[in-house]
Chains A and B, each alone.
Chain A
Amino acid sequence: MEPTIESRREPAHAGGEAAASDALEFTQSAPLSIGVELELQLVETRRCDLTRAASDLIALVERRPHPGEVKPEITESMIEVATGVHHRYDTLAAELLAMRDALGAAAEKLNVLVCGGGAHPFQHWPERQIYDRPRFRHLSDLYGYLAKQFTVFGQHIHIGCPHGDDALYLVHSLARYVPHFVAFAASSPYSQGADTQFESARLNAVSAFPLSGRAPFVLRWSEFNEYFAKMRRLGVVESMKDFYWDIRPKPEYGTVEIRVCDTPLTAERAAALAAYAQTLARYLLIERPVQLAEDLLLTYSYNRFQSCRFAFDGDFIDPVSQKHASLRDEIAATMERLEPHARELETEEPLAALAQMARENASDARWMRSRYQLTGSLHDLVWQQCRRWRGEV
């Protein structure tokens, strides 16, 4: 549930107070460093419905040293894991897998299952309990059914930037690639017990919020600060956490955060997505292939919708050449441009896996539909998702 990003506790070193002062200071971080946050589903073993288990699970995990960070979320049926800061794909992937195993061992003791996926296929939103803490109560009062329907699970990828201007360049130049991330991660075809016909239905839930969408088109950190100050003076927002943009700068971490991904069904794919983001960022920051202009964003919503609905089969309008192509072809072309950067970062292997996935239309959403076809049972589908998360299928 992403409103939770608001309630997220900031790490002590990250200067969370910056948001409260007048100007947002962009913390310096190592360029092209990466980190991943994953929101995971906790389900019981009988009907595979969401269950309340987060606090017991966290208490059990925390008993012994483990990689990464495990954090509570707005509901007890969700848990968030966050990796440390990495410079290389392989160490990030290793940490994610180690975290998955540590979490899995604890969950086993409690008879709880963990799985990926952008939304639980059949959880019934009126039954979701919003935690009775003032902050969550406020969200629920404000957003009504949106808050409950928002029991969705996403992956957030952080990319380190040396300063704010670079971060803003990255925010806007990455916009073109949002459909790529949506399609690679799409894993929420079912919602409230029905097939939505979407590959990622989760993003529809995100779009309903007033401060979702994309960041304002400003290119200098000083301009961004002016925008932010205006919005605060107007009382629209209190802090950066109130913006649910698809891609947003995270000044207290010194990163750009990509937030459009569903949580994939496997930790491996989550790591591969981070590698893709890192490689893209290197390409964009070093080659600076486009002169940013607001007109490049005219196709943004169209392309994003197409990928949510159809994934790799979606239509993609190139904002520069203004030509239509399938997202599959657009991804293939991008992969070619990324080759030298992938070599440099040693991310060829995960990128090859993603390219193959696009070619073969092997999205997680498709896998889920094919599993459902076999048994006609959404309960069984969740069971299979849990097995997939453990690496068994």
Chain B
Amino acid sequence: MRGERRGTPETPQNHRRMTDFFFLPAWPIAMPQLFWLGVLLLAATALGELLDRWLRLPRILGYVIAGALLGPEVSGLLTESAVQGLTPLLDVAMGIVLFELGSRVDLRWLRRNPWLLVTSVLESAFAFGAVYAILAVVGTKPLVAAAAAAIAVATSPAVVLAVSKEMRAQGQVTERLQLFTALNSVYSFVAFAMLFAWLHLEARGGIALVAMHPLYLVLGSIALAAAAAAALLAALERLGPRGDVQTIAALGVVVVAVAVAMALNLSVVMALLGMGILTRALDRNRRFLAVSFGYVGQLFIMALFALTGAALKLDLAATALAAGLGIAAARALGKAVPVIALAKPSGLSYRKASLVSVGLLPMSGVAVVMAREAASIWPSFGPQLGAVVLAAVLILELLGPLAVQFALRRSGDAADAE
């Protein structure tokens, strides 16, 4: 194309156009959204480094802030539709994070140390109970309160994974934090799916619907997870132990699994976490040992948090800040009690168990999606409760990374621990 143009500048027509500066863009220049996406990455990098070097704060906080600043809520440089258009990127990023967190979970550990399973079930149950109770006290309808409580069970996989990777954290607090986070995300999803049964019961739906809807969600997602894990392991078996090749193969299977989950109306959270967990559990020959997402993973984490920041609904959340704080506090207490109480039998000191409970604070960005879903299904979930959940998410989105960073640093798990 270019060569062609260069070859024909002498025709009279072209000559005339030249004088009109036809080759210049219209003013003001309409930058494609791609430009602002690049700017978003640069701004996120810069802010992330700034926070890390000057304030020793987690970089992901910088990504969220950069996203919020460039997003439709503040400057509007990235428009609502542009953010919407980037949803596939967000989905893939979320898929990678969930898969990677899942692959860090060792189910065999639960068998060797059953107290961890007990702790995990109890911290989720207590968090559910605490949030449910506080909402019931202020007169929320039971089904709606239960939906909010189910959302509150999950710790953010993205925050926990991103901060522990950023800090190159290793050790008991990191390991347990990742384990509990993956498990409570699974419980949260299962609880949420069960609520559909409750909903259908209230709406006098048939037994088939009551039973089938949650079963399809849960079992379907697990089946997809197992199929994807088996496919990945089969591919790795043939590809051999080279890390870079393995990483790309894993990336491919993750993207396919995300797409299939969405196409089949299954849960991306459950399918991808499950895929990670099962890849690890079924990997008898340890093919998967070498896979690490490295820079690619880092890029997706950055995109994930920047886009989450861009999608934050600040004004809506601001209206319910106090209520959000209440939920966040109840949830924190519910999680802390069992984790600390069972410290000794599970083989940890009280001090480190307390740090684990601090690390469990960040609420899941997945919660935003769930809340939106809940609002569309239960009109009574309504904007108000949606706002409360959003406020809790906002608080814990900003405080969450700080909490995880604090926990990892104080425990000595972080590479830069004192």
Q: Say if the beta carbon of A71 comes within 8 Å of chain B.
A: no
A56 to B349, CA, bound (A): 8
Q: Say if the beta carbon of A212 comes within 8 Å of chain B.
A: no
Which residues of chain B come closer than 8 Å to A60, judged between CB atoms?
347
A109 to B116, CA, bound (A): 9
Residue of A nearest to B352 (CB): A56
Beta-carbon contact of B104 and A46 below 8 Å: yes
- Which one of A239-247, A271-279, A283-291, A376-384 is at the B interface? A376-384
Which residues of chain B come closer than 8 Å to A29, judged between CB atoms?
none
Which residues of chain B come closer than 8 Å to A56, judged between CB atoms?
171-172, 347-349, 352
A111 to B172, CA, bound (A): 9
Beta-carbon contact of A110 and B415 below 8 Å: no
- Which one of A47-55, A93-101, A341-349, A358-366 is at the B interface? A47-55
Q: Say if the beta carbon of A22 comes within 8 Å of chain B.
A: no
Question: How many residues on the A side are at the interface (Cβ–Cβ under 8 A)?
Answer: 27
A51 to B112, CA, bound (A): 19
Which residues of chain A come closer than 8 Å to B418, judged between CB atoms?
132
Residue of B nearest to A48 (CB): B289
A129 to B167, CA, bound (A): 13
A111 touching B290 in the complex, CB below 8 Å, given contacts A46-B280, A56-B352: no
Q: Mark A367-393, 1 if CB is under 8 A from B, else 0.
A: 000000001110110010000000000
Q: Say if the beta carbon of A106 comes within 8 Å of chain B.
A: yes
Q: Say if the beta carbon of A44 comes within 8 Å of chain B.
A: yes
Q: Mark B76-110, 1 if CB is under 8 A from A, else 0.
A: 00000000000000000000000000011010110
Q: Say if the beta carbon of A195 comes within 8 Å of chain B.
A: no
Beta-carbon contact of B241 and A377 below 8 Å: yes
Which residues of chain A come closer than 8 Å to B413, judged between CB atoms?
52
Sample of 9 further A-B pairs with CB below 8 A, known A46-B289, A109-B113, A110-B175: A45-B106, A51-B170, A56-B348, A60-B347, A76-B171, A109-B346, A110-B172, A380-B241, A383-B289
A-B contact pairs, 28 of them (CB 8 A): A45-B106, A45-B108, A45-B109, A46-B289, A47-B290, A51-B170, A51-B171, A52-B170, A52-B413, A53-B170, A76-B171, A108-B112, A109-B113, A109-B347, A110-B113, A110-B175, A111-B112, A127-B168, A129-B415, A132-B418, A376-B240, A377-B241, A379-B286, A379-B289, A379-B290, A380-B241, A380-B285, A380-B289
CB within 8 Å of A: which residues of B?
Answer: 103-104, 106, 108-109, 112-113, 168, 170-172, 175, 240-241, 280, 285-286, 289-290, 292, 346-349, 352, 412-413, 415, 418
Closest 8 A/B residue pairs (Cβ) = A379-B289, A109-B347, A377-B241, A111-B109, A52-B171, A51-B170, A52-B170, A109-B113
